[in-house]
Structure 1
Amino acid sequence: MVPTDAMSLINTSLILCEPPYDEGRMPLVLLYSAVLAVGLPANLLTVYLTWLQVRRKNVLGVYLWSMSLCDLTYLCTLPLWAWYVSAGHWWLWSSAACKLTGYVFFTNMYSSIFLLCCVSCDRYVAVVYSVESRGLRQQRLAFLVTLTIVLLVAVGHIPVFIMKEGDAAEGRRRCFEPSQSSPTVTSFNYARFVVGFLIPLIVLMVTNHGIMVSVRRSTGLQRQQKKRVCWLAVAVVVLFLVCFGPYHIILLVRAVIFHFPQLEDRTCLFESTMYTPYTVSLGLSTVNSAINPVLYVLSSDNIRKELSRGLAQVCDQARVRPPTNRIQNQFQTSGLNGETQTHQRESPPGI
């Protein structure tokens, strides 16, 4: 049996090392709510626009459509996380629901990251090897790559179901709170940093740098077009670093701390100094799903054209809508019918 003094010391240590759950609670709830409010309609729109490109056999459209679906699924977990944080980090549902929510959250986040790499690689091949890539860039291959990524990420995150972090059945009712480390969690954090952040970062930097070099050397593009392509290449890397860099760096630090248990036990290093930055960085990682639709539109001329055609049709329909006044309708019926037919003939084939 454990001596009473030892048990008292352990209980005191656990109380002193409890993370500051109340710090940054409201800003995090507001951040989740804002990301959901912006990201949900934006991704719904891009799912539709990118699906039109998929139907037109556009290879890039396959990656963009798949990424928008991942972002939508990812966003659907935010109401649960916002509720959880607003309730003082108290999970109201079962342990199985906690683990399933965490699985969906992390699986779609990393699927989106890898698909973002696919978008950059596809643009790199299309820009740098525009002639040679005509036979390589096939829609069937794009679907195969996407399916492989989703399956590998889904299988790779199965350990989520056996982690104690997702055990909300005990008295504390916490869900994926980093208050306890284990060899499984530490190994998982190392893997997420290397495979889920470092390697994608290298891929994004190499491909987008290659795009910038090729575009600058091109003589067939106007100066404004070159600026737009270069700006997009820089924006992709910077947004990736801002959204995912802090979270994965903290994961790495947490994994390293696990190898120094004496330091952690004595100082509660993670709980006292890094828990609040950890929660903020995790919230920051969700911002990417709201910004991605902007990158979709900027990265594809075809999607911008689809959006322009859609907006033009909406404006045309609003412009030719008959007035509600009955007398005006009687005098203008014939003219409006003719005008409507004219607009229908002039409008390009649309969405």
Structure 2
Amino acid sequence: MEISDEKRIMEHCLNKTCNSTCTEIPYEQSKTLLVAVYSIVFAIGLPANCLTCLLTFVQIQRNNVVAIYIFSLSLCDLMYLSTLPLWIIYVQNGHKWTMDDIYSCKITGFIFFCNIYISILLLCCISVDRYLGLVYSLESRGIRGQKLASIIVCVLFAVVAGVHTPVFFMNDNQNCTKTCFETVPLTILLASLSFGRFLVGFVIPFTILIFTNYKIFQATKRSSSLTCRQKTKVKYMAIAIIVIFLICFAPYHAVLIIRAIYFMFNQDCPCPFENKIYPVFTVFLCLGTANGVADPIIYVLVSENIREDCYRSLRRLRWNSSKLNSSTDHNTESRKLETLKESEERGQTEEDKEITDSSDIQKTCTTGIDQESGS
């Protein structure tokens, strides 16, 4: 009995005829959740990030340094959100890439993974810039500037894109399984890359976020020039950044490193474990898409300047609308008055005519009576 069970497990370990892929991956378990989350994120994130780009662009014109990072973050999120319809179709089709062009899958996956790490690094840039602006406001006055921020953003985009360029030259299992960037089980190369992504793409940025936001909180707590409301705002802002970072990126990287460690110690038969952890991995990967909705909420709605611009724009739009309505009402009233005046004039004319006619009739009647009296 034990030999039979072991043989059965080994048969399910790897499909040797299909380039060493795992079979019986439970794609259907998380299908509904993935489609729902992707659809909600796309519906909310697309207009939210478009509005963020518009408002932060106005702030860039006013020499706001942080606005450059937020603007770049929104552009990055928009690039990823544009690929979500393809991911929705992919999940609906049972994790099968139905497009004939293999490079469409590679480009979509390239944008997805670039978005994750560009977003993480830009969050770090925003926190570091706030840290320098609050803790070292005088010393950093000559360092912080839009030119340096623009250079940093360009370097980040170039480095992250360069690191992920090899995806275009990697041979995956798509020709056999029709999946897109879902190599199950991992290879030694992918497992090694997972360790690097976990360290450089999560641990180090998370350490930077913790350090900078903690120092920001300490500086505002000791400050005597800030009001209690401003201190509370800075405190909640720091907490929100950490919480969003943990929700969006921590679960994915935790499962990523667990898969890599397990594969390194169980290279002969990793599939039973992969079959069990796959639904959890896809759900945690899906949480990363929530970053596209969380970024505008944190960095736009909390910003006083951008929020005031939004309110100002809404007031201007409302004023123009009311002005247009009042102008329309005025024209309507004018037309009504003109119509009423014309009707009154016609009525007066008819009355005059009636008076004239009645006087003529009266004259005729009087003449007739006089004639009868004379006769």
Q: TM-score range by the shorter chain?
A: 0.7 to 0.9
In the TM superposition, 1:109-120 aligns within 5 A as: 109-120=116-127
Report the Cα distance in structure 1 between the residues aligned to 2:73 and 2:335, rounded to whole angstroms: 50
Q: Does 1:289 align with 2:292?
A: yes
| Alpha carbons 1:18, 1:179 under 8 Å: kept | no
- Given the alignment, which residue of 322, 325, 328 partners 2:325? 322
**Amino acid aligned to 1:248:** H
Structure-2 residue corresponding to 1:200: 205
Higher Cα radius of gyration: 2
Q: Within 5 A, what are the aligned runs for 1:227-238?
A: 227-238=232-243
Whether contact under 8 Å (2:10, 2:269) holds in the other structure is no
Q: CA deviation at 1:61?
A: 1.1
Q: 1:322 to 1:131 in 2, by over 3 A?
A: same
Q: Aligned residue for 1:335? A: none
Q: Which residue of 2 aligns with 1:346?
A: none
Tell me the equivalent position of 2:274: 270
**TM-score, length of structure 2 as denominator length:** 0.81
How large is the Cα RMSD of the aligned pairs?
2.2
- Partner of residue 147, structure 1: 154
Structure-2 change in CA distance of 1:181 and 1:307 (3 Å): same
Distance 1:297 1:262 in 2: 47
Q: Give the aligned residue type for 1:269.
A: F
Preserved contact between residue 215 and residue 226 of structure 1 (Cα < 8 Å): yes
Residue identity matched to 1:259: M
Structure 1: gaps spanning 5 or more residues? 1-6, 333-351
Q: Which is worse superposed, 172-181 or 146-155?
A: 172-181
Quote the Cα distance in structure 2 between the aligned partners of 1:25 and 1:188: 27
Contact 1:70 1:109 in 2 (8 A): no
Match of 1:60 in 2: 66
**Structure 2 gap segments, 5+ residues each:** 1-6, 16-21, 338-375
Partner of 1:212: 217
Identify the residue that residue 221 of structure 1 maps to in structure 2: 226
1:37 corresponds to: 43
- Aligned: 1:300 with 2:303: yes
> What pairs up with 1:235-274 in 2 under 5 angstroms?
235-261=240-266, 264-265=269-270, 268-271=272-275, 273-274=276-277
CA distance in 1, matches of 2:65, 2:12: 59
- Tell me what 1:163 maps to: 170
The answer (yes or no) to whether the contact 2:134–2:219 under 8 Å persists in 1 is yes
Distance across 1 between alignment mates of 2:336 and 2:140: 59
Task: Give aligned-pair identity as a percent.
Answer: 41
Counterpart code for 2:232? K
Tell me how far 1:244 sits from its aligned partner: 0.5
Q: Which residue of 2 aligns with 1:173?
A: 178
Amino acid at match of 2:260: A
Q: For the residues of structure 1 that align with 2:334 and 2:164, how far apart are their CA atoms?
A: 62
Name the counterpart of 2:77. 71
Give the Å deviation of 1:321: 2.4
Query: Structure 1 residues 299 and 194, CA, compared in 2 at 3 Å: closer, same or farther?
Result: farther
Q: Which amino acid is 1:225 matched to?
A: Q
Q: Distance in 2 between matches of 1:262 and 1:67?
A: 38
**Residue identity matched to 1:313:** R
Find the residue that maps to 2:298 and give its secondary structure. helix
TM-score, length-scaled by structure 1: 0.86
Deviations 1:282-325 (A, max 9, x none): 11100011110011214533222222211221222232222656
Q: Distance in 1 between matches of 2:334 and 2:145?
A: 53
| Alpha-carbon distance, 1:174 to partner | 0.7
Which whole-Å CA distance do the structure 2 matches of 1:262 and 1:74 have between them?
Answer: 33
